[in-house]
Every structure is written in structure tokens, then in C-alpha cells.
Amino acid sequence: MSEGPNAPNSRFGRYLAGLAVVSMLGFVFLNYRDPWPPIVPPPLEPAPEAPAPPYANTLSLAAPPAIEPNQPAPPEDAAEVEDTVPTTSLALRLLATMVQEEPSRSLARVADAQLPNAQMMLQGQVFEGRPHVTLVAIESDSVLLANYGTLERLPLEPDGLQITADSPHSE
């Protein structure tokens, strides 16, 4: 292509136009601001350390009901209160008891007419579906309940199972 008398000017014009385009692109690139502010999640606080539930190492897959902190203390001498404690009128049946030397390890199996399955209970537990009823003490032939704070007895069913764990003997 032959260059005419205006060739240097047209080259210079193209140079200036290119320089202007590059300058504008650089300005846009360096001054670009996102129209949307960045989403910053709130700082995560560490979860509070949950205390281990009582009887966490038991074989039951269901979590035990909450233990009432102000539950009545079990009577010292069960024979002393046996005559004075009325039988409960709740729709509960005591199916089995397993009395250990250490009372906190004793178990009672209780059927509730409101529930499909019987519950395995420990001393101090609250009955499922009955937050006002607490198992106070487990004896070989009955259990003591606190029903709205009133002490009541639930006797073992006639065909119920009694297990009494003997203390280990050293020979």
C-alpha cells in the first residue's frame, strides 16, 4: 500500500485513538467497583460445651428424660413409709425391678398406658409424657413416685420380675 501525503497524520491519529481506548480500559479496570457489597457471614461463636447427660454410657439408644433438680429425696427407711405411702392412681404398671447395692444403678421397667412401649427407668428420672412424675426410689417389690410432689407407690405386677443384685463377696 502506498503512502500518501497524509499518511503520517493518519498513523498518528490511529495511534492516538488506540492510546485513548487503552487509557479508558485501564481507567475502567482500575476503578471498577462491584455494585453489590460483599456478603460477609456473621462471625461464628463456638457452641457452648454441653454437659454429658447422666448415664451417657448406658446401652439405651433413647436419651433419658431430664432429671428434676428439686426432686424429693428418697426415704431413708422404706419399711417405715410403706404403710403411709398411698398407691398411685396413674395408669402405670411396674413390670420388673432390678435393685443394685448402689441405688443410682437400680432399674425399673414401667409400662405407661399412654405410650406404646415400656420404659426402662433409673432413680431420679422423669416419666416420658408425664413431666410432673418423677421416679424417686426403686425397691424390689415397688417403686416410689413423686406425682406433683406427692409421694406415691407403684407396686410390682403379680407376674413381675424381681432381681436383687448381691454385693460381691471376697473369699
Give residue for cell 409421694: 151
- For residue 165, the model assigns a pLDDT of 72
CA distance 28 to 77: 89
Query: 90: which DSSP letter?
Result: S
pLDDT, tens only, 38-58: 777 777 777 677 666 655 555
- Can you tell me the distance from the alpha carbon of 97 to that of 143, in angstroms, rounded to the nearest whole number? 8
Single-letter code of the amino acid located at 29: F
| Least confident among 10-14, 18-22, 108-112, 137-141 | 10-14
How do residues 54-85 score in pLDDT, each as one tens digit?
A: 555 555 556 556 666 666 665 555 555 556 88
Q: Give the global pTM.
A: 0.50
DSSP H or E stretch at residue 120: strand 119-122
For residue 8, pLDDT beyond 60: yes
Sign of the Cα torsion 79, 154, 138, 126 reads: negative
Band of residue 170 on the pLDDT scale cut at 50, 70, 90: very low
| pLDDT value, residue 5 | 64
3-state secondary structure labels for all residues of 1-62: CCCCCCHHHHHHHHHHHHHHHHHHHHHHHHCCCCCCCCCCCCCCCCCCCCCCCCCCCCCCCC
Q: How confident is the model at residue 134 (pLDDT cuts 50, 70, 90)?
A: very high
Q: What is the CATH number of domain 78-164?
A: 2.30.30.830
Lowest mean pLDDT among 78-82, 105-109, 139-143: 78-82
60: left (phi over 0), alpha (psi -120 to 50) or beta: beta
Nearest alpha carbon to residue 121 among 92, 97, 150, 101? 97
Confidence of residue 104 (pLDDT cuts 50, 70, 90): confident
